[in-house]
Amino acid sequence: MKINQKLFTVIIFNLFSFITLFGQIIPDYKIVRGKNDTVTTPTHIIVGVAAPQSQIFVNEQSVKQYKTGSFGIELNLKEGANPVVIKIISGGKEYSDNFSVYYKIVTAQPKIEILQDYGKRVVVTKEGAYLNYGAGQDRLGGAKVNYIASGIRMELIDSVQSLYKVRLSENNYAFIPKYFVNIEPAGVKPPFTLTSSWSVSNAGKSDRIRISLESRQPYTMYRELEPNRLVVDIYGAACNSNWITQYLNLKAVDYVDFKQISPDVFRVLIYLKDEYSWGYKVDYVGNSLDITVKHTPLPAYSGKLKGMVIGVDAGHGGPKSAGAVSPAGFEEKAQNLAMAYMLKEQLEKKGATVILSRTDDSDVTLADRIKTFDNANVDMIVAIHCNAGGNPLKNGGTSTYYKHIEYRELAKSILEKLVLLDVNNFGLIGNFNFSLNAPTNYPSVLVETLFMSSLPDEEKITNPQFQKEMMTKVTEGLESYLKKVKASLKEKRD
């Protein structure tokens, strides 16, 4: 029965593919893959066969034909209808065929189960949401786990001031700001998913891991240095992945693996090639979890600043956010901005491109600063601030901060240069919960130059000459970091 059906399909298929626009019959021609499809991915492969020794063009582009007669091409589709014109020159005659491939961008259509007797309530995340470990709310906000995509449903467990406690899985929970969720109508149940096929591919400036799920599930992610890998836990998910398509032209990802660590937590392990990280991002495309891992940018191979795109953030700004104010009345925001321009000038002299998140005395939100850096596709960011606190009669000192362990070396490289100046070493501080250190999609460092509140520091940090010297040290620190990157890449190749 199956064979008959197949035969029938082949006959019908051949019948259609021999009829072309002008009624000509192209010798031995048939499209075996990619014709008349509505597709949901922007890259589309067309494979066909025609009489051997033909000349083949797809959309005016010459396509290689193999000795067997087969040919193939990958097209990048635009949203909507994409015309495909195939021209074949065979035996001195020109033939053509055309059809259209419709690319439909699929937005998430989560599987929502509504149960009349489901007594618990569910929240759904909005754009910009993030998870916190606890309900602590200090000056910088509670400790962040990571940002999380929109459209994710989780059971609501409790309400603590401005946060909801939400369930990630049977044994895991987190906190999420109320501002970033909506409460679903009664009866909506949090989804559970089976993982489906994966693909791992080179997407140009990053490698991409895509895991098909049936619904958007919450996730957490972190980087480990030894072994050198990314760990992404997907909650409310069980393994049903029977294959992983892994391409061989990957640049950042060495290989991927997974583990079902508990009945409802699926762990994705992404082993990395390069020692130094240039950022990664986890998001959803439809219901597929989309993990991108940035390639080492080409200029980094030279170990120099030339060609690098660097985001520089001058802390605070505007009438509401002056930052720390020194005993003599100097405002932090003005020192930060002056130093950001000095750093910009020095980095540009070295051939880097610099993107400022604030160019004047205006109030720029953290979200807008992050957006500016995202849009410019920066390779790394440096945030400039001044510190405050402690004994005003003593030297405060200089310090650098990172949040993610993979950027410790960056913060360390800059601190090592800064302390060569006549300043106190206030230290290298990790796991710091500063918002601009939170994004994982590029390396970041916070430089707390000196203390506004310390009298000896105040004298230095309000002096333009000393500010310039500090920014020279930041520049040297970045160069020293890039040299380490270059050495690690060389070591790997040798």
Query: Residue 332 Cβ, how far from Zn ion at the closest point, in Å?
Result: 5
| Interface stretch with Zn ion, choices 13-21, 123-131, 285-293, 377-385 (CB under 5 A) | 377-385
| Interface stretch with Zn ion, choices 240-248, 281-289, 313-321, 463-471 (CB under 5 A) | 313-321
Distance CA 158, CA 86 (A): 60
CB nearer to Zn ion: pick between 385 and 473: 385
Distance CA 476, CA 492 (A): 25
Nearest residue to Zn ion, using CB?
385
CB nearer to Zn ion: pick between 69 and 315: 315
From 136, 318, 104, 282, select the one nearest 209 (Cα to Cα).
Answer: 282
Query: Residue 324 Cβ, how far from Zn ion at the closest point, in Å?
Result: 6
| Interface stretch with Zn ion, choices 4-12, 258-266, 322-330, 361-369 (CB under 5 A) | 322-330
Query: Residue 196 Cβ, how far from Zn ion at the closest point, in Å?
Result: 46
CB nearer to Zn ion: pick between 181 and 314: 314
Q: How far is CA 182 from CA 130, 153, 176, 178, 258, in A?
A: 14, 10, 11, 8, 32
| Interface stretch with Zn ion, choices 181-189, 320-328, 458-466, 481-489 (CB under 5 A) | 320-328
CB nearer to Zn ion: pick between 153 and 403: 403
CB nearer to Zn ion: pick between 152 and 461: 461
CB nearer to Zn ion: pick between 20 and 321: 321
Strand segments, DSSP code E, in 265-369 are 265-272, 280-285, 288-294, 309-314, 353-356
Q: Extract the tokens encoding 160.
A: 């603590």
CB nearer to Zn ion: pick between 385 and 404: 385
Query: Residue 476 Cβ, how far from Zn ion at the closest point, in Å?
Result: 23
β-bridge partners, 328: none
Total residues interacting with Zn ion, rule: CB under 5 A: 3
Distance CA 80, CA 173 (A): 41
Place of tokens 């390779």: 379
Three-state SS letters, 311-336: EEEECCECCCECCCECCCCCEHHHHH
Indicate the SS3 state at residue 84.
strand
Q: How far is CA 327 from CA 72, 446, 449, 454, in A?
A: 72, 24, 17, 8
By CB under 5 A, residue 315 contacts Zn ion: yes
| Interface stretch with Zn ion, choices 140-148, 308-316, 360-368, 467-475 (CB under 5 A) | 308-316
Query: Residue 254 Cβ, how far from Zn ion at the closest point, in Å?
Result: 39
CB nearer to Zn ion: pick between 72 and 315: 315
CB nearer to Zn ion: pick between 223 and 385: 385
Indicate the SS3 state at residue 446.
strand
Query: Residue 37 Cβ, how far from Zn ion at the closest point, in Å?
Result: 54
Q: Which amino acid is at 254?
A: D
CB nearer to Zn ion: pick between 229 and 385: 385
CB nearer to Zn ion: pick between 323 and 456: 323
Place of tokens 């960011």: 381
Q: How many CB atoms lie within 10 A of CB 64?
A: 9
| Interface stretch with Zn ion, choices 19-27, 175-183, 292-300, 381-389 (CB under 5 A) | 381-389
Measured N-to-C along each axis, helices 464-493 and 332-349 cross at an angle, to the nearest 10 degrees, of 50
Query: Residue 436 Cβ, how far from Zn ion at the closest point, in Å?
Result: 11
CB nearer to Zn ion: pick between 307 and 392: 392
Query: Residue 315 Cβ, how far from Zn ion at the closest point, in Å?
Result: 4
CB-CB contact of 322 with 361 (8 Å): no
Query: Residue 314 Cβ, how far from Zn ion at the closest point, in Å?
Result: 10
Distance CA 258, CA 245 (A): 14
By CB under 5 A, residue 358 contacts Zn ion: no
| Interface stretch with Zn ion, choices 59-67, 121-129, 296-304, 311-319 (CB under 5 A) | 311-319
Tell which positions 117-156 bind Zn ion, by CB under 5 A.
none
From 200, 338, 316, 184, select the one nearest 258 (Cα to Cα).
Answer: 200
Letters for 382-401 (x = contact with Zn ion by CB under 5 A, - = none) are ---x----------------
Report strand pairing: 198-202 vs 80-90: unpaired
Query: Residue 392 Cβ, how far from Zn ion at the closest point, in Å?
Result: 17
By CB under 5 A, residue 412 contacts Zn ion: no
Tell which positions 188-227 bind Zn ion, by CB under 5 A.
none
**Across the beta sheet with 280-285, what order do the strands follow?**
244-246, 198-202, 206-212, 288-294, 280-285
Q: Which amino acid is at 145?
A: V
Query: Residue 316 Cβ, how far from Zn ion at the closest point, in Å?
Result: 6
Q: Which amino acid is at 185?
A: P
Distance CA 153, CA 187 (A): 13
Distance CA 437, CA 382 (A): 9
Query: Residue 317 Cβ, how far from Zn ion at the closest point, in Å?
Result: 10
Q: Sign of the CA dihedral 146, 226, 275, 231?
A: negative
CB nearer to Zn ion: pick between 193 and 336: 336
- With CB under 5 A as the contact rule, the residue among 218, 323, 397, 439 that binds Zn ion is 323
Q: How many CB atoms lie within 10 A of CB 223?
A: 19
Place of tokens 């759904």: 124
Query: Residue 139 Cβ, how far from Zn ion at the closest point, in Å?
Result: 11
Which residues sit at the interface with Zn ion, rule CB under 5 A? 315, 323, 385
